[in-house]
């Protein structure tokens, strides 16, 4: 017996137990509604997706070709359309996730209006977006299953047994649009208790994976901007533990924590770490501080002094009251951050780099894996990188090193369209195309994401439409540039009434009122033109 039939039989038994007053309730309609509402709560989602992500991590450990990917989405509809597109073009959502970017929450979802990525937005807007994304993904399930149920009814009406069997098989093997979300909690929006409380909200909304960074909460900056300030390791580890407690309290025991370090580009700290003995974690953190050796007679009013190995050291303090690290220590600090995080409960790492360079990433990962052999990265294929220029310059440098004649190229101007058809640009594009596969193999990157892609695609597509519609093209700009392409490329939301749930509503009307149902999807619905 199929899952669909079994569910209908179970519902039928309950209906029969309640006697004639329930006789108008259809067991099959109940089965349909249950299948369309597989996930009842956000915790159901978190438990389901955590299992998927853990399985994917294990698969990657065996074969680096099994890396995973995601795109950042700032609205439920955007996430929904992404998953519908993935299923349409690739047939499966396996190893494809969603990413929730704190940057996009700040820029697009704050009641204050657009804000920079500095944790000034309402913290609860993060969990609200998680809930919204999963609401739209569940609706995508209901919509697609609704179409299959209508196909099933049509096959039965036509007495087409083969078609009926095929549709039942597709229903029983239906793949949900619900996939893991890697959700950005920034630096936790406060102390460890604040981190714990927000993590609980995010998990209850459906998050199986939470990404947290080692910046100071009230000094938080985008990882690709200047002025970043890190915290001592013990402060960060307390927040990692807070997130783990939140997962375990809510029964998501296999929830995933991504520990992000910004140390590669962060040259400042707000605190001198507490240390008990030479070589402990606090002492290692402090060893990177930029200090001057002093004697009692050269000490100044208000000096903060460190005693290290019998020497008195004065950390350099800026007018902002922040302390600075020695130049060139970023990679060492980054590696220590990663090792320490993995040894204290984190599952995955995020290293925020200033350019997409596999060699640089691999160098750090190799050092981390010397201590933690199965270390894995989540990597931001960031729109903050100029990918074209970076990779053309990487090719230029590699060719120069190998003795290839590059006199036809100006390294500083390689972004120019004049080079678009050149052999150098073709090689750079090949490396960009293969970047994720090569980095997964060589640099330990389990998950590749783009933080802000749909922010940029929304801007680009809106610019193209506005340029034509308000110009000479007029209505043709929409018809040729949008609708005609939607129809020909099979974009589901060309039938926007269906996408918004109109057909699901019609199904429910029929369930509730039978032949008396006033349905919207009749012969006079203009959506029938598509």
**Tokens representing 390?**
């970076």
Cβ neighbours for 5, distance < 8 A, ≥ 6 positions apart: 31, 168
**Helices 192-205 + 42-62 axis angle, to 10:** 100
- Give CA–CA dist 285/299, Å, rounded: 23
The secondary element (H helix, E strand) that includes residue 12 is helix 3-17
Is 68:60 a contact under the CB 8 Å cutoff? yes
**Tokens representing 255?**
């929830």
Cβ neighbours for 152, distance < 8 A, ≥ 6 positions apart: 164, 167, 168, 171
Active-site entry in 222, 291, 334, 338: 222
Q: Give 72's DSSP letter.
A: E
As a whole number of Å, the end-to-end CA separation of the chain is 37
Q: Is 222 noted as a catalytic residue in this protein? A: yes
- Secondary structure in 3-state letters for 410-421: CHHHCCCHHHCC
Q: Give 183's DSSP letter.
A: E
Measured in residues, the chain has a length of 530
Is 35:7 a contact under the CB 8 Å cutoff? yes
- Give CA–CA dist 363/529, Å, rounded: 57
**Tokens representing 242?**
């807070």
- Give CA–CA dist 241/161, Å, rounded: 56
The secondary element (H helix, E strand) that includes residue 131 is helix 124-157
The secondary element (H helix, E strand) that includes residue 312 is strand 311-315
- Give CA–CA dist 59/65, Å, rounded: 9
Q: Give 422's DSSP letter.
A: S
- Give CA–CA dist 385/223, Å, rounded: 12
SS3 of residue 122 by DSSP: coil
Is 186:102 a contact under the CB 8 Å cutoff? yes
SS3 of residue 291 by DSSP: strand
Q: Give CA separation, 322 vs 164, 216, 263, in Å.
A: 70, 11, 15
Catalytic (active-site) positions = 222
């Amino acid at each position: 017996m199929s899952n669909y039939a079994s569910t209908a039989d179970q519902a039928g038994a309950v209906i029969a137990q309640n006697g004639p007053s329930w006789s108008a309730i259809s067991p099959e309609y109940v089965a349909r509604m249950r299948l369309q509402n597989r996930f009842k709560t956000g915790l159901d989602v978190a438990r389901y997706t955590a299992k998927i992500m853990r399985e994917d991590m294990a698969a990657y450990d065996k074969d680096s070709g099994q890396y995973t990917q995601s795109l950042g989405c700032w609205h439920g509809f955007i996430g929904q359309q992404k998953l519908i597109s993935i299923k349409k073009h690739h047939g499966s959502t396996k190893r494809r996730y969603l990413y929730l970017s704190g940057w996009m929450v700040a820029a697009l979802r704050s009641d204050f209006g657009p804000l920079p990525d500095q944790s000034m937005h309402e913290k609860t807007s993060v969990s609200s977006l998680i809930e919204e994304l999963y609401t739209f993904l569940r609706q995508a399930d209901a919509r697609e299953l609704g179409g299959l149920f209508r196909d099933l009814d049509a096959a039965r009406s036509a007495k087409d047994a083969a078609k009926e069997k095929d549709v039942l098989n597709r229903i029983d093997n239906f793949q949900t649009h619900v996939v893991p979300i890697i959700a950005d909690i920034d630096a936790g929006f406060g102390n460890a208790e604040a981190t714990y409380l927000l993590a609980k909200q995010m998990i209850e909304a459906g998050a199986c994976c939470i990404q947290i960074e080692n910046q100071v909460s009230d000094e938080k900056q985008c990882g690709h901007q200047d002025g970043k300030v890190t915290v001592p390791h013990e402060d960060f580890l307390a927040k990692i533990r807070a997130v783990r407690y939140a997962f375990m309290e809510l029964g998501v025991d296999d929830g995933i924590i991504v520990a992000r370090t910004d140390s590669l580009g962060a040259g400042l700290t707000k605190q001198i770490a507490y240390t008990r003995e030479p070589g402990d974690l606090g002492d290692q953190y402090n060893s990177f501080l930029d200090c001057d050796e002093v004697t009692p007679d050269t000490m100044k009013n208000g000096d903060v002094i460190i005693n290290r190995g019998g020497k008195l050291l004065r950390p350099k303090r800026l007018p902002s009251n922040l302390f600075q690290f020695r130049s060139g220590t970023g990679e060492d600090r980054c590696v220590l951050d990663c090792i320490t995080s993995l040894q204290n409960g984190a599952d995955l790492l995020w290293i925020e780099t200033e350019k997409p360079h596999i060699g640089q990433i691999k160098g750090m990962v190799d050092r981390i894996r010397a201590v933690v052999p199965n270390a894995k990265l989540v990597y931001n294929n960031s729109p903050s990188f100029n990918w074209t220029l970076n990779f053309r310059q990487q090719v230029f440098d590699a060719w120069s090193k190998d003795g290839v004649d590059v006199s036809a190229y100006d390294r500083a101007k390689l972004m120019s369209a004049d080079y678009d058809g050149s052999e150098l640009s073709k090689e750079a594009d090949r490396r960009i195309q293969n970047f994720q596969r090569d980095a997964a193999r060589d640099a330990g990157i389990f998950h590749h994401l783009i933080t802000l892609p749909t922010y940029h695609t929304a801007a680009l597509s809106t610019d193209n439409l506005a340029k034509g519609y308000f110009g000479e093209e007029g209505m043709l700009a929409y018809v040729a540039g949008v609708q005609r392409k939607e129809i020909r490329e099979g974009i589901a939301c060309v039938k926007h009434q269906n996408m918004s749930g109109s057909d699901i509503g019609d199904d429910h009307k029929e369930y509730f009122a039978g032949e008396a149902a006033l349905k919207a999807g009749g012969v006079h619905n203009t959506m029938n033109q598509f």
